[in-house]
Structure 1
Amino acid sequence: MSTEPRTVTVNVLVTKALEIDEPDWCVDPHTGANFRPDIAHNGPEIAASFETRIGTVDYLRAWISHAPYAALAPEPLPVIAVEVDAEAVSLDPDGVRAFTATTRAHLDALDRLADEADRIRGGGQG
């Protein structure tokens, strides 16, 4: 048996603060990122809201997002994240017309968001 001390290599998780560039449009507090690939910059959220007799339904939420260190597919430029939350409501014909009017207004807001993303990316139609 050898009298020399033995060594072993053990992988450990080491954490430290990481300073990154923050885009001027980002409003994310960055509290949920434990690893570099978790870092995402997120802009202000827009959502279509529609009042029903049982309460407010938010749908078609969207925001500008950029995950520069994403593990599987790093995003070289900001994208637009769109979240569709399926919630069924019953509407009469006037309610459907109000819903479609609200949706049309929100689609215009989505177009403005696309223009802003083009501006941030440095080109496009914005």
Structure 2
Amino acid sequence: MPDPAGADPMNTEPRKATLTVFVVKPLEIDEPDRCTGHSADGLTQYKVDISHDGPEHVIAPGGREMFRAFLTQAPFSSADRTVGLYIEGADITGTHTPHEVEQLADALAESADQLRALSRDLARILAQGED
């Protein structure tokens, strides 16, 4: 009776298949001085996931958190590999009284000063060619 899969019973060569596999091995990379660590779990799945993150700056004028920011670079990115400033804004959505709007405006102005200082730090790093 013939093989239902159509295989030649006289062919003794093994069949071959090509599979995509996830290979796990240590990768040693250069790390800039400004880098404070990597992913919390210590596992990076792909080389493009690697990022050099600097210390986090919490911008909280008068105790009101407005932004979090840190220098970051993805040295193996397929897009942009230069150092940049990652900025995350607090949720300020809502209805406010005139006094609260004034406080928010003051906090934004003070936050802007701190963001400008971080921008100057970034410009210095880029000028030194530490990308």
Do 1:66 and 1:79's aligned partners in 2 also have CA atoms closer than 8 Å? Answer: yes
| Residues 36-67 of structure 1 deviation map (CA, whole Å, 9 limit, x = unaligned) | 0000111122233367xxxx763332221101
Question: Is the counterpart of residue 14 in structure 1 residue 23 in structure 2?
Answer: yes
Q: Displacement of 1:34 after TM fit? A: 1.4
Secondary structure of 2:27's aligned partner:
coil
> CA–CA distance in 1 between the matches of 2:60 and 2:94?
13
Structure 2 unpaired stretches of 5+: 1-9
> Which structure has the greater CA radius of gyration?
2
Scaled by the length of structure 2, the TM-score of the pair is 0.71
Provide the aligned length of Structure 1 versus Structure 2. Answer: 117
Question: Is the counterpart of residue 35 in structure 1 residue 36 in structure 2?
Answer: no
| Residues 57-110 of structure 1 deviation map (CA, whole Å, 9 limit, x = unaligned) | 633322211011113x031x2011222343424433332222222221111111
Which has the larger share of strand? 1
Structure 1 unpaired stretches of 5+: none
Do 1:50 and 1:102's aligned partners in 2 also have CA atoms closer than 8 Å? Answer: yes
- Which residue of structure 1 lines up, in the alignment, with residue 7 of structure 2? none
Do 1:48 and 1:103's aligned partners in 2 also have CA atoms closer than 8 Å? Answer: no
Taking only aligned residues, the RMSD between alpha carbons, in angstroms, comes to: 2.5
Deviating beyond 6 angstroms after TM superposition, the runs of 4 or more aligned structure 1 residues are none
